[in-house]
Structures are given as C-alpha cells and as structure tokens.
Homo-oligomer: A and B are copies of this chain.
Amino acid sequence: MTTRRGRPPKDSDTGLSRDRILREALALVDEEGLDAVSMRKLARRLGVDPMSLYNHVDGKEALLDGIAEVLLAAIPATTPGPDLRTTMSALAHGFRGAVLGHPRAAPLVLTRRLASLTALEPVEAVLGPLLAAGYPPERAVHGLRAVLAFLIGTLMREVSAAPTFSHGSRERLEELEASGLPAVAAAAPYLAVCDHETEFEFGLRILLDALAP
C-alpha cells in the first residue's frame, strides 16, 4: 500500500503492469480453465492490444510461470509449531490450501519446473525444524522431497488431472465388479469412490510417521 510516486489512479485501470496482467490471467484461468488462456483473449479482457502484453511478460510460457508463482506466493507463512510433526503437517496443509484455492490453475504449480526461488520460505520452514531436531541435512532433504512428491501426486489427482479409478458413478462400480479381476472386484466399492480429504490425510500420516515419529 505504499503510494506509487504520485501517478494518478489511472494506473490500475488502463495502465498495464506485470501484476495486473497476472491477476487478470489467473482470473481467466479460474473462470474458463487453462486451455482457454491465450495472449489475445487476455489482452481483450484487459482492453489492450495483444502485443502490449509483451512489454511486461516474456511470452506465453513466462505468463504461465508467472501465474504459478502467484499461487506459490499464496502459501501462508508457517511459524514452527510445538513439534516437528505439527509444523510439517501445517505446511502440507498450507500448500494444499493454496493450490486448491485455484484448482484449474493448479497444474501450473504441480507441473512446471519453476526457475525462480519463490516458495523457498516454506522449504526453510520444513528444513529448519528437521535440522534443529538433529536430522542430517541429506536425510532432511530426502524427507522433504518424498513429502513433496506425495503432495504433488495427490493434488494432481484432487484437481482431477490425474488418473483415478473412480468418480463414484454407478457404472464405474459395475465395470470394476465385472472386470474379471478378483481383487479389483472385491475392492470395487472403495475403488469406485475417492474422498480426497481422507486420502490426503492417510498418505500424509504414513509419511510423517516415518519422518517425524
């Protein structure tokens, strides 16, 4: 909220800026999905020539990276809790919350190799307590990566961009039962349904049991 060098409020209406572009782009993704994003459509929404965007953003790929970074920046800062387990759990939930806040944009975070160092604070917040608890740094990093891999995989599923054997349709259940595969048939009622919340907690618990007992 620092005043902006006396420029008139025009700035936030017609004045373009990387920030305004990224915010509008995220809104576009939220409303119409990732596939609907195009430089031209985004420019139309901003009331601007498509080429004007290139003054603030390095092309479409960079635009998508920018959106991903906006999401990452929304991970709430986490102060170390009473023990390792609760801080790690809080961070995992914070990451999940930030990503699920914009489900249609989520694949950008989960899928792109981000070059920048956004999201380094959350890493510090995990690594700090682990090191303080006496974990050797190498093992701490392995642990961090295992949890992160799990988070990325579950979130991809939650956001419905990854394979499940579900979405609870009646037919799905019948297909599974008729598959001719005995174990699949026996577990069909559970395969046909997927409660993301409990799947998330289940996997996270297992990992934290192993890492922060």
**Contact of A149 with B by CB under 8 A:** yes
Contact of A123 among B119, B145, B162, B184 (CB under 8 A): B184
Distance A194 CA – B142 CA, assembled complex (angstroms): 9
- Count contacts on A: residues with CB < 8 A to the other chain: 60
B residues near A161, Cβ cutoff 8 Å: 111-113
Copies in the complex: 2
Contact A145:B194 (CB < 8 A) given known A113-B164, A184-B127: yes
Asked if B111 contacts A156 (CB within 8 A), the reply is yes
Asked if A203 contacts B131 (CB within 8 A), the reply is no
Distance A145 CA – B204 CA, assembled complex (angstroms): 12
Q: Which of the listed residues A131, A179, A187, A199 has the most CB atoms from chain B within 10 Å of its own CB?
A: A187
6 closest Cβ pairs, A-B complex: A149-B153, A153-B153, A152-B153, A146-B203, A127-B183, A124-B181
